[in-house]
Structure 1
């Protein structure tokens, strides 16, 4: 007779062995034996890949940095410092044959007064750039054309003894040139800014507009160059952020797009290399001043 909780025992049942095998108890392994999540050599010994930590400087890093390299714990200082080998910095130095290193855009020591007000104290400034002069091509061409056309028109009207129309032509020329001056001033105050945490665009004369995107949120970045852009060395940057709408997506007419692209990518994926290079440059500058 079978047990009350199951079917009657049948020695000829073809599925009996399979059921017995499937219901065998799973052996338990103590936490200190074999890989697991205990205190032994398991997954807990690897680097922490938690998303809870940020990508800022100092204590915010844990486990591996954005570049995937290991970091050294410094319990006394309370933060983790990067490992930068000489081979990784070799591309920034001239080789034995005297070949020039990879080009890197120069960094300003301090942000301008226009930009400094938008940076918080713990943010590290990497540079600011105005748009390429091609950004002013249309206003300048309109100003030149207006000067020739309205100048000729005012001279012709003056000869016809039509003083009122001559005055209108002169006032119209002043209005066009005022608009051109406004565009030039707007270009001057329009800045693209890079820090160790975000990219920003600040523009506007009367109404100021500040748009920014954290570097850790950038999922894709590209730049485009038209034939004229390749000839004159300017391009358009396009930033993507996880399919979400953002205030900063397309930035047109930026100068030196290839070098600027490398600068932004290096800041995103090799921030420790940037810090090491800047630290070395500062040490060399101090040594030169001391000499």
Structure 2
């Protein structure tokens, strides 16, 4: 899925578009599986009891409500946050957008970037993810966590910055 063209300037092209690393979704996925298994087990157990049908219906509704709250809060919400988080490099800027109900973001023009660093530990390297650190001329370094293939992104961004600076400094 490409980044929406309506947020790009005229003649601006997306070089890279990434969501945070999929590893951010492992705990929400485990919670979905465990909560569903527990709800199914409880519903199956309640179904074997010799209770009145109205009592069983109420207990089923409580189980479903607890399951829905747990899954919605701890699985669906993190997935939607992951889905609506974008790290985009264009031929002119770096954009970071995140948030589901309240959106926020930052744009860093490539010409303003002073340095690009990355950091990833052993576990991050195993999952091919890491933190990208961008230092611009006007503010403290910005850290972008869980960037997939952070070394590749670092190299690509460095080359884009070099190309941008080279084109601005070259005589016309």
TM-score of the pair, normalised by structure 2: 0.78
Residues 48-84 of structure 1, C-alpha deviations (whole Å, 9 max, x = no match): xxxxxxxxxxxxxxxxxxxxxxxxxxxxxxxxxxxxx
**SS class of match (2:7):** coil
**SS class of match (1:138):** helix
Q: Tell me which of the two structures has the higher relative contact order, counting C-alpha pairs closer than 8 angstroms and 6 or more residues apart.
A: 2
Q: Supply the distance in 2 between the matched residues of 1:169 and 1:134 (Cα, whole angstroms).
A: 29
Q: Supply the distance in 2 between the matched residues of 1:188 and 1:127 (Cα, whole angstroms).
A: 16
Task: Note the C-alpha offset of 1:243.
Answer: 6.8
Q: 2:116·2:157 contact (CA, 8 Å) conserved in 1? A: no
User: Cα distance 1:115–1:202, how it changes in 2: closer, same or farther (>3 A)?
Assistant: farther
Q: Supply the distance in 2 between the matched residues of 1:269 and 1:153 (Cα, whole angstroms).
A: 60
TM-score of the pair, normalised by structure 1: 0.49
Q: Which residue of 2 aligns with 1:128?
A: 17
Larger radius of gyration: 1
User: Cα distance 1:202–1:265, how it changes in 2: closer, same or farther (>3 A)?
Assistant: same
Q: Which residue of 2 aligns with 1:174?
A: 68
Task: Note the C-alpha offset of 1:194.
Answer: 0.5
Which consecutive residues of structure 1, in runs of 5 or more, have no partner in the other structure? 1-110, 275-291
Structure showing the higher helix proportion among its residues: 2
Q: How many residues are matched?
A: 161
Q: Which residue of 2 aligns with 1:13?
A: none
User: Cα distance 1:273–1:241, how it changes in 2: closer, same or farther (>3 A)?
Assistant: closer
User: Cα distance 1:242–1:209, how it changes in 2: closer, same or farther (>3 A)?
Assistant: same
**SS class of match (2:4):** helix
Which consecutive residues of structure 2, in runs of 5 or more, have no partner in the other structure? 168-172
Q: Which residue of 1 aligns with 2:41?
A: 152
Q: Does residue 115 of the first structure (1) align with residue 8 of the second (2)?
A: no
Task: Note the C-alpha offset of 1:198.
Answer: 1.3
User: Cα distance 1:141–1:226, how it changes in 2: closer, same or farther (>3 A)?
Assistant: farther
Q: Supply the distance in 2 between the matched residues of 1:143 and 1:155 (Cα, whole angstroms).
A: 18
**SS class of match (2:89):** strand
Q: Supply the distance in 2 between the matched residues of 1:218 and 1:198 (Cα, whole angstroms).
A: 9
Question: Alignment RMSD, CA only?
Answer: 2.7
Structure showing the higher strand proportion among its residues: 2
Structure 1 runs, 4 residues or longer, greater than 6 Å off: none
Q: 2:95·2:106 contact (CA, 8 Å) conserved in 1? A: yes
Q: Supply the distance in 1 between the matched residues of 2:112 and 2:166 (Cα, whole angstroms).
A: 20
